Structure 1
Amino acid sequence: MILVTGATGTVGRLLIDQLLVAGERVRAVTREPARAQLPHGVDVVGVDRTDPASTADAMRGVDRVFLLTSGPGIPEYDTAFAQAAADAGVARVVKLSSGRAGDATATDPIPAWHRAGEAAVRAAGVPWTMVRPLGFMSNALHWAGTIREQGTVYAAFGQGRIAVVDPRDIAAVAAAALTTEGHEGQIYTLSGPQPLTPGEQTAILAEVLDRPLRYVEVTPAQARHALLEHGVPAELADAIMALRADALEAFTSVVHPTIERVTGRAPRTFAEWAAAHASDFRADTAVAGTVRS
């Protein structure tokens, strides 16, 4: 059985679908099991991250773990899950980390949190794989409201390029690492096929939606305020803004061949992702985006 943490998040939910198609038994960890709305056959459990006993209970009968934690608690949560996995005799842990964790010059919070989490997984002694995506294509969903209402994208750091990744490709790499051999001790840095600025993403969205859109660069303070209005806690908003500032550096614009090497197919383009999510950006449609880094 495979334990999936962060089961209702962007990558976790996609991973569950892919594992079920592959015929795997899945146990999903979520903070609110009654609201999870996961497919029939998934064993949904709640875990109190402050209670080691509940984490140990979730590990019973599990032989592989997908570890997805977020926020300032990443080091603590990863330590707890990794130790519980070791105690349960789990054969493999695949941790979703941050692309910037592999950049020695990145000292801002999110890569630092993930480096500590990775260290905890290694220290637990369970065979591991680290999956380190660069920016998520799905973060563009935060622009959906102003695209629908104003035909405008507001974003900071307009000159920064990120080789953004489709979350489905991240899930596909994680699924391969969980279900096939040869991934132990591997660090997979994932990128999409093309580094893009916010303005270039806006132009692609305009073409897909067949309507004119404009990009307006805002200050970092304005972008931070928008995150707070979206419900992001202040500490996490500051961490996200620090990570976005790093898009000005060369590291985030590098295209990596990892997705095709692991899955056997090329990563999806931003245009393909946008076409699949076009309804989110059209009038009278709801958006359910999650910031990931």
Structure 2
Amino acid sequence: MILVTGATGTVGRALVDQLVTAGAPVRALTRRPATAALPDAVDVVAGDLNDRASIAAALAGVDRVFLLSTGPQIPVHDANLLHEATRAEVTHVVKLSSARTADATATDPIPTWHRHGEESLRASGLDWTILAPLGFMANALHWANTIRDQNTVYAPYASGRIAAIDENDIAAVAATVLTTPGHHSQTYLLSGPEPLTPADMTATLADTLAKPLRFVEVDPATAHRTLLSHGVPPRMADAIMALRATATESFTSAIHPTVRELTGTAPNTFRQWATRHLADFG
């Protein structure tokens, strides 16, 4: 049995669907089972990574775990899950992390939070694998409202290029790692097939949606205020802006062959991702 945390999120849901298609037994941990809308084949259980008792119950009969945690509580959530996974004699934990944790100079919040989680994982005594994407194509969904209302994408750091990856490709790698041998004590850097600027992505979205879109660069302070106005907590808004600033580094534009090497299939382009998400922008 494979336990998937974050099972109703972008990557988690894609992984659940792929594991079900492959015939693997799947249990999904979610705070709100009644609204999870997961496939009938999935064992959906209530739980919270802040609550060790609920984690322990969810791990009954589980031998493999996909660990997806987000935000400032990553170190605590990861430690809670790993504590209970050790007690439950789980055989393998796959953690979704950040590619920047390996860079000691990356001291901004998100890689720092994940770095603590990775340290707990390596110290747990469990077999482990770390998946470390450079960036997520799904972050473009944050532009959906202004695309619908103003035919405009607003973003800072216009010169920054990120070889972002499709959530389906992250899920495909995770499914491979969870269901085949040979991945213990490995960290896999994950990228898409092309480094793109926000303007590049805007042009692709315009072509895919068949309507004109304009790209407007905004200064970081304005972008930060926008996050706060949308209800993002200040600590998380600071972390997001620090992460966005790294798009100007060469590290984020590197192409890694990991998806093809592990799955046998080339990673999706941003155009393929955008075509699949047309309804989200329309």
What is the TM-score when the length of structure 2 is the normalising length? 0.97
Partner of 1:286: none
Give the Cα–Cα distance (whole angstroms) in 1 for the partners of residues 70 and 50 of structure 2.
Answer: 15
Residues 162 and 247, structure 2, Cα contact 8 Å, conserved in 1: yes
Shift of 1:211: 1.5
Shift of the alpha carbon at 1:279? 2.1
1:103: Cα distance to partner?
A: 2.2
Contact 2:11 / 2:167 at 8 angstroms: preserved in 1?
yes
Which residue of 2 is the match for residue 255 of structure 1?
255
Please list the CA deviations of residues 119-170 of structure 1 after superposition, one character each: whole Å capped at 9, or x if unmatched: 1111111100000011111111111111111111000010111001000000
Which residue identity is paired with 2:62? V
Tell me the equivalent position of 1:61: 61
For the pair 1:168 / 2:168, whether they are aligned, the reply is yes
1:275 maps to amino acid: T
Once the 2 structures are TM-superposed, how far is the Cα of residue 269 of structure 1 from its aligned partner?
0.4
Partner of 2:126: 126
* Distance in 2 (alpha carbons) for counterparts of 1:168 and 1:235: 29
The offset of 1:49, in angstroms, is 3.1
Distance 1:222 1:87 in 2: 47
CA distance in 2, matches of 1:212, 1:5: 39
Question: In the alignment, does 2:150 pair up with 1:150?
Answer: yes
**For residues 48 and 154 of structure 2, what CA distance do their matches in structure 1 show?**
37
Match of 2:229 in 1: 229
Q: How does 1:143-292 map to 2 (within 5 A)?
A: 143-282=143-282
Asked if structure 1 preserves the Cα contact closer than 8 Å seen for 2:194 and 2:255, the reply is yes
Structure 1, unpaired ranges of 5+: 283-293
| 1:19 matched residue in structure 2 | 19
Q: Give, in angstroms, the shift of residue 25 of structure 1.
A: 1.0
Task: Please show how residues 29-48 of structure 1 align to structure 2 within 5 Å.
Answer: 29-48=29-48
Counterpart CA distance in 1 for 2:159 and 2:233 is: 26
**Alpha-carbon contact 1:64-1:92 (below 8 Å) kept:** yes
Q: Quote the offset at 1:8 in angstroms.
A: 0.4
- Single out whichever of 169-178 and 39-48 deviates more from structure 2: 39-48
Paired amino acid for 1:149 = D
Distance in structure 2 (CA, Å) of the matches to 1:263 and 1:49: 30
2:29 and 2:48 in contact (8 A); partners too: no
**CA RMSD in angstroms, aligned pairs only:** 1.1
Measure, in 2, the Cα distance between the counterparts of 1:137 and 1:51. Answer: 31
| Residue identity in the other structure for 2:145 | G
Distance 2:121 2:70 in 1: 15
Matching residue's letter, 1:240: I
Calculate percent identity across the aligned residue pairs.
62
SS in 2 for 1:71: coil
In structure 2, the partner of 1:7 is 7
Instruction: Provide TM-score, normalisation by structure 1.
Output: 0.94
| Preserved contact between residue 103 and residue 251 of structure 1 (Cα < 8 Å) | no
Tell me the secondary structure at the aligned position of residue 24 of structure 2.
coil
Counterparts in 2 of 1:279 and 1:51: CA distance versus 1, 3 Å: closer
